């Protein structure tokens, strides 16, 4: 896609988010993906009873040190559902958040594990134990000097750096990454909103954030979802590089081993530049920033100059992929937004 096409795409974002209601055929047991990253689909992985443990959007999932899987939903009755890898529901708890959106896991130097949860509706960002007790709450952006009162704050995600600094992505607000120290003291921010097709260090929907430790130094990797980009920064917020994934409205970056995984929430068609809901799939990049597999999508293609061609959904396994959890066996769990209140699907690694 050339720069003109990118400009058309970005200019048409707001009025052209389109949905389709046609039901997709079941692909239970299908094998999807490419190369060494092929997976068998298990649509029925979760054994939770929806009458007792209802979900709205299954936003994100992490795996704790003991192997348990923690799923975050925005159903106030049960924000967190806890599973084993076979799909058995082990426990649940709630913070009463109607806007529970981001879930990150961090193990501190003493071995204690904590979760970081963001609520987009209230702007709350809390650090909790694995059983839901709040250990720390970050100050609201309006109260710590980060924002003026007129600035919108709607945080979507967190990541914790090697020294304990906490990075908060304001993906539905003013498009900054806010940085706090381990005690919750506000330090600085970087980024900000830009709808221009090429504007290094700026975002359009800074949806996700993670710490990338695959290189010679740890970096902060951030999502610019509406611009189809991942951007990397130093821990202090200095811009490093961008990877453009044409056609892919990506969710948060998930680093596991040599690879970066992400759910693609919205997609496109060959025939237009509009954003379409219900066109999601998963994408996997290696440590050279090349896409190596698109489970549920077409195989990645690069032209003779090494430019990635537009990525589109192929098989209708997913509707709107919001997160990918990678377990220790390298199986995947795909959480979905606005997809009929479904529990996560499991992708069992085949190759």
The CATH number of residue 72's host domain is 2.120.10.30
Structure confidence at residue 25 as a pLDDT band (50, 70, 90): low
- CA dihedral for 74, 80, 81, 85, sign (positive or negative): positive
* Residue 169 to residues 23, 205, 223, Cα–Cα distance (Å): 33, 9, 9
Q: Which pLDDT score, from 0 to 100, does residue 273 have?
A: 77
The residue among 274 and 253 whose pLDDT is bigger is 253
Whether 23 is covered by a domain: the verdict is no
Number of domains in the chain: 1
CA distance 94 to 79: 5
Whether 22 is covered by a domain: the verdict is no
pLDDT in tens, 146-180: 999 999 999 999 999 999 999 999 999 999 999 99
82-90, long-range: CB < 8 A, 24+ apart: 83/46, 83/48, 85/327, 85/329, 85/331, 86/47, 87/44, 87/45, 87/46, 87/47, 87/346, 88/47, 89/46, 89/47, 89/48, 89/49, 89/53
CA distance 172 to 268: 21
* Residue 190 to residues 52, 194, 222, 267, Cα–Cα distance (Å): 42, 13, 11, 28
One DSSP character per residue, 274-313 reads -EESS--EEEEE-TTS-EEE-TTBPPP-B-TTSPBPP--B
pLDDT above 70 (res 39):
yes
Q: What is the mean pLDDT of residues 223-233?
A: 97
- CA nearest to 325, candidates 29, 55, 64: 64
CA distance 246 to 263: 14
pLDDT above 80 (res 303):
yes
The residues, ordered by sequence, that sit 6+ positions from 32 with a Cβ below 8 Å of its Cβ are 38, 39, 41, 295, 296, 315, 317, 347
3-class secondary-structure state, position 85: coil
Dig out the tokens for 143 from the structure. Answer: 């109260």
Q: What is the mean pLDDT of residues 207-220?
A: 98
Q: How many residues does the chain have?
A: 351
Q: Which pLDDT score, from 0 to 100, does residue 173 have?
A: 98
- What percentage of the chain carries pLDDT values higher than 70? 93
Rg (the chain; Cα; Å): 19
Strands (E), 64-151: 69-73, 80-83, 89-93, 100-107, 113-119, 124-128, 134-137
pLDDT above 50 (res 21):
no
The residue among 20 and 311 whose pLDDT is bigger is 311
pLDDT in tens, 172-210: 999 999 999 999 999 999 999 998 877 899 999 999 999
Domain that holds residue 203: 3-17+28-349
Question: Alpha helix (H) ranges present in the chain?
Answer: 3-11
Whether 162 is covered by a domain: the verdict is yes
Whether 33 is covered by a domain: the verdict is yes
Residue 316 near residue 28 (C-beta atoms within 8 A): no
- No. of helices (H) and no. of strands (E), the chain: 1, 28
């Amino acid at each position: 896609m050339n720069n003109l096409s990118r400009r058309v795409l970005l200019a048409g974002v707001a009025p052209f988010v389109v949905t389709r209601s046609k039901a997709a055929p079941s692909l239970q047991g299908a094998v999807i993906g490419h190369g060494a990253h092929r997976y068998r689909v298990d649509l029925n992985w979760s054994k939770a009873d929806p009458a007792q443990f209802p979900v709205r959007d299954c936003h994100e999932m992490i795996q704790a040190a003991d192997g348990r899987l923690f799923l975050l939903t925005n159903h106030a009755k049960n924000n967190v559902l806890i599973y084993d890898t076979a799909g058995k529901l082990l426990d649940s708890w709630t913070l009463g958040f109607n806007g529970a959106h981001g879930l990150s896991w961090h193990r501190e130097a003493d071995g204690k594990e904590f979760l970081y949860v963001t609520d987009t509706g209230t702007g709350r960002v809390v650090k909790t134990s694995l059983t839901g007790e709040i250990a720390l709450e970050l100050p609201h952006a309006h109260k710590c000097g980060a924002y003026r009162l007129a600035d919108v704050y709607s945080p979507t995600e967190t990541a914790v750096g090697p020294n304990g600094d906490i990075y908060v992505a304001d993906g539905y607000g003013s498009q900054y990454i806010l940085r706090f120290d381990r005690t919750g003291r506000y330090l600085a921010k970087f980024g900000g909103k830009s709808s221009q097709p090429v504007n290094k260090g700026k975002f359009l929907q800074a949806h996700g954030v993670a710490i990338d430790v695959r290189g010679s130094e740890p970096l902060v990797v951030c999502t610019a979802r509406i611009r189809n980009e991942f951007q990397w920064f130093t821990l202090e917020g200095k811009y490093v590089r961008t990877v453009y994934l044409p056609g892919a409205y990506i969710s948060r970056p998930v680093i596991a081993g040599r690879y970066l995984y992400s759910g693609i929430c919205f997609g496109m068609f060959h025939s237009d530049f509009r954003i379409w809901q219900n066109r999601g799939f998963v994408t996997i990049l290696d440590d050279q920033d090349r896409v190596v597999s698109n489970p549920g999508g077409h195989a990645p293609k690069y032209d003779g100059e090494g430019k990635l061609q537009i990525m589109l959904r192929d098989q209708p396994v997913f509707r709107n992929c919001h997160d990918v959890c990678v377990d220790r066996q390298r199986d995947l769990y795909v959480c979905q937004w606005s997809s009929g209140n479904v529990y996560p699907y499991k992708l069992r690694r085949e190759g």
